[in-house]
């Protein structure tokens, strides 16, 4: 069947899928993931400022996601731009920093149990 963008694709399977999701293999992987998260939690307690780790993860996510849109920067430029509040950063790096800020705002919004609605997106685009 050729693709027609004016017609909805209604041949998708219904949810939930009929397959059993809680298999032995999945449960074993869940146990391994839980142990890895416990290790990470223990290691994070050793950090004097856990915010540094969180910010670094957000910066890396913003950098990698921005590359999809052909917005490319280096880690050096990104971390220098972050440390300087964007002062002296090139346009690409500033765009990645804006992405990181939007990601952080979204996290704070969800953490406060606010609904993801039009108001949320209006705040992000200011």
Residues 29-57 have pLDDT tens digits of 999 999 999 998 998 889 888 878 888 88
Average pLDDT of the segment spanning 101-121: 84
Looking at the domain assignment, is residue 71 inside a domain?
yes
Looking at the domain assignment, is residue 79 inside a domain?
yes
Looking at the domain assignment, is residue 69 inside a domain?
yes
In this predicted model, which residue has the larger pLDDT, 53 or 64?
Answer: 64
* Total domain count, the chain: 1
Looking at the domain assignment, is residue 4 inside a domain?
no
Looking at the domain assignment, is residue 19 inside a domain?
no
* Half-sphere exposure for 6 (CA within 13 Å, toward CB): 0
Check: CB of residue 100 under 8 Å from CB of residue 62. Answer: yes
Looking at the domain assignment, is residue 26 inside a domain?
no
C-alpha–C-alpha distance, residues 63 and 45, integer Å: 26
Average pLDDT of the segment spanning 104-113: 85
- pLDDT band of residue 1 (cuts 50, 70, 90) is low
Question: Is pLDDT of 81 > 80?
Answer: yes
* pLDDT confidence of residue 32: 96
- pLDDT band of residue 125 (cuts 50, 70, 90) is confident
Tokens of 39: 């290790």
Question: Could you tell me the residue range of the domain that residue 105 belongs to?
Answer: 49-124
Looking at the domain assignment, is residue 21 inside a domain?
no
Looking at the domain assignment, is residue 40 inside a domain?
no
Average pLDDT of the segment spanning 54-81: 92
Average pLDDT of the segment spanning 99-108: 86
């Amino acid at each position: 069947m050729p693709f027609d963008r004016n017609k909805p694709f209604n041949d998708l399977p219904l949810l939930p899928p009929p397959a059993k999701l809680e298999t032995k293999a999945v449960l074993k992987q869940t146990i391994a993931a839980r142990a890895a998260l416990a290790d990470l939690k223990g290691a994070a307690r050793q950090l004097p400022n856990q915010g540094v780790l969180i910010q670094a993860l957000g910066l890396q996510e913003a950098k990698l996601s921005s590359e999809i849109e052909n917005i490319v920067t280096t880690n050096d430029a990104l971390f220098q731009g972050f440390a300087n509040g964007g002062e002296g950063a090139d346009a690409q790096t500033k765009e990645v920093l804006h992405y990181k800020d939007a990601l952080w705002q979204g996290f704070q919004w969800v953490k406060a149990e606010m609904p993801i609605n039009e108001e949320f997106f209006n705040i992000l685009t200011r």
